[in-house]
Amino acid sequence: MTARAARLFLALSAARLFVEPAAAGEVPLSERRSGYEFMSRETRAMQDDDTGNPGTLWVLDGEALWKRKAGASDRACSDCHGDARESMKAVAARYPAFDPALRRPVNLEQRINACRVGRQKAPALAYESRDLLALTAYVTRQSRGLPINITIDARTRPFLEAGREAFFRRQGQLNLACAQCHDDHWSGKLAGSPITQAHPTGYPLYRLEWQGLGSLERRLRGCLTGLRAESYPYGAPELVDLELYLMWRANGMRMETPAVRP
């Protein structure tokens, strides 16, 4: 190799070094922290102990709903999918996922409702209703401890890019971007509470402030309201794109549903 070629090679491999971590997500895996790591010892203990974790109530409700026949088809989820502990293992870790019929990614709540309406011939469950949260929590519970695993292909890339664009866009009367808090200032405190890196590892989760279980979209709507920005209705494509970006950004992190947050 000539000296010039060697220099070029070195320059190129140095460039790769800087480019690669960004390609795998804006915060390198080794520096990523779940919201869990920012919590007090008491709140962590509440999440860690299934009997003390209030989210367990929704998971148990979800298990019952999984086995209950519903709709004109008079079939239960379990009639098609069997034991969720087998069939639903690692499924939530790859949602939002591409829906060929809608030609766009759908989140887990939308996927569950597609089965309700299409297969069970039952009415869709309302967003944030006890039953939809329970079924979502039960299905997602089957991914607890497993790594988030979003793969992007030509069909999903435009939606990932839309979500990323939204994350970096200043918006609302306060004119702030998600990234300004969650990428640039995650070690800081907003009015005394930790900002965190906004990883969606624990949803649906129990928030002490909500006194109940809530979805990732509920949390996103909360941050948007805080910015005094226009919010989106539940299930809006813009919210699902953001969810896809956040899940992809957290690739490799372990799922913790049902988590607890302050």
Partner 1 sequence: MNWREACAIAFSILVGNAFAGDSIPASLTGAKGDPARGRAIVANRQVGLCLLCHSGPFPEERFQGGLAPDLRSAARLSEGQIRQRIVDSTKLNPQSIMPAYYRSEGLERVAPAYRGKTILSAEQIEDVVAYLTTLK
Q: Which residues contact 137 (CB under 8 A, 6 or more apart)?
A: 55, 58, 59, 62, 204, 213, 257, 258
- Is 223 assigned a catalytic role? yes
> What phi and psi, each to the nearest 5 degrees, are found at residue 106?
-120, 150
Q: Which is nearer to partner 1, 16 or 169 (CB)?
A: 169
Which residue in the set 11, 193, 209, 236 belongs to the binding site for partner 1 (CB under 8 A)?
A: 193
User: What CA–CA distances, in Å, run from 246 to 137, 193, 202, 253?
Assistant: 18, 21, 12, 11
Q: Which is nearer to ligand HEC, 84 or 93 (CB)?
A: 93
Binds 220: which of ligand HEC, partner 1, none (CB < 5-8 Å by kind) = ligand HEC
Q: Which is nearer to partner 1, 9 or 168 (CB)?
A: 168
Which residue in the set 178, 213, 253, 255 belongs to the binding site for ligand HEC (CB under 6 A)?
A: 178
Binding mask 114-143 for ligand HEC (x = CB under 6 A): ------------------------------
Q: Does 225 bind partner 1 (CB under 8 A)?
A: yes
Q: Does 180 bind partner 1 (CB under 8 A)?
A: yes
Q: What is the CA radius of gyration of the chain?
A: 20
Burial of 1 (C-beta count, 10 Å sphere; 0-12/13-18/19+): exposed
Helix, coil or strand: residue 95:
coil
